Amino acid sequence: MDLPLIETLRRKTITLLTIFLLLVLLGWNWSLGAVEAESLLTPAELIAALREGGMVLYMRHAATDHSQLDQSRNRAMLQDCRMQRNLSAEGRQQAEWIGQAIRALGIRIDEVFSSPYCRCRDTAQLAFGDHHVMQALHFAIGMRQSEKAQMSEILRRQLGQAPRSGSNRVLVSHTANLKEATGLWPMLEGVVMVFRPQQGQSYQFLGQINPDDWPE
């Protein structure tokens, strides 16, 4: 990897860490943003809603090995997992566990779409099996503003489009994509953010299920 690219990635990482620390000091609620926590459902209530179907689950990829870095953002790199931050051993177990919990609870999943990044595709495969890659779920950080806007519009449409009757749709992606599209930040790796599609392709955010919230 050439030195200018390394320096660019280093500066972006430092900038993101600085923003993260400032928001922590300010007491920012990462996941909820401007949403009133009192209006959200508990994990148990969300699971009950998922068993009824009709929801869209936005899942951040499972736990990753943070000693690894994405070495580029071009599409050729996405075919080579060695050039990306990948799931850790814990993350692979986490993805499998979440999928097993969902099946054990009788939650029906008919559609699974994933970012082209290996950590998302592996999460989707380990948790749900068959899935489709959706380029619009590509990691939003580092993209041009026009591309981000287009990706956000597609994501909002996915959140507002009702899945098949009695079933749910899963979107496996990254932190920044949901933040860009909705203002909500899915901080934890493996977190599931639950949305209810409404008329006119709008949607309602119902709450989140953290990895440890799934019943054993």
The model's pLDDT over 132-159, given as tens digits with 9 standing for 90+, comes to: 999 999 988 878 889 999 999 999 999 9
pLDDT of residue 24 exceeding 70: no
Q: Determine the residue type at 28.
A: W
84 & 17 share domain:
no
Q: Which residues pair with 83 in a beta bridge?
A: none
Tokens of 194: 């639950």
pLDDT of residue 55 exceeding 50: yes
pLDDT of residue 3 exceeding 80: no
17 & 49 share domain:
no
85 & 178 share domain:
yes
126 & 48 share domain:
yes
Tokens of 97: 């566990």
First to last CA, the chain: 44
Helix axis angle for 145-160 and 175-182, nearest 10°, is: 80
**% the chain with pLDDT above 90:** 72
18 & 56 share domain:
no
Residue, of 3 and 77, whose pLDDT is higher: 77
Please, what sign has the CA dihedral across residues 15, 18, 22, 24?
Answer: positive
Q: What pLDDT was estimated at residue 59?
A: 99
39 & 134 share domain:
yes
Sheet strands (E) in 48-173:
56-60, 109-114, 132-133, 168-173
Q: What pLDDT was estimated at residue 21?
A: 53
**Cβ contact 203:193 at 8 Å:** no
Q: What is the CATH number of the domain that holds 131?
A: 3.40.50.1240
- Contacts of 76-84 spanning 24+ positions with Cβ under 8 A: 78/116, 78/117, 78/118, 78/138, 81/118, 84/117, 84/118, 84/119
49 & 7 share domain:
no
117 & 194 share domain:
yes
Compute the average pLDDT of residues 20-39: 52
The model's pLDDT over 155-176, given as tens digits with 9 standing for 90+, comes to: 999 999 999 999 999 999 999 9
139 & 177 share domain:
yes
pLDDT tier for residue 26 given thresholds of 50, 70 and 90: very low
pLDDT of residue 61 exceeding 60: yes
Alpha carbon distance 196, 18 (integer Å): 34
70 & 108 share domain:
yes
**% the chain with pLDDT above 70:** 81
pTM of this structure: 0.83
Q: What pLDDT was estimated at residue 17?
A: 54
42 & 79 share domain:
yes
Domains held by the chain: number: 2
Task: Note down the domain range covering 23.
Answer: 1-29
94 & 2 share domain:
no
The model's pLDDT over 68-112, given as tens digits with 9 standing for 90+, comes to: 999 877 777 788 999 999 999 999 999 999 999 999 999 999 999
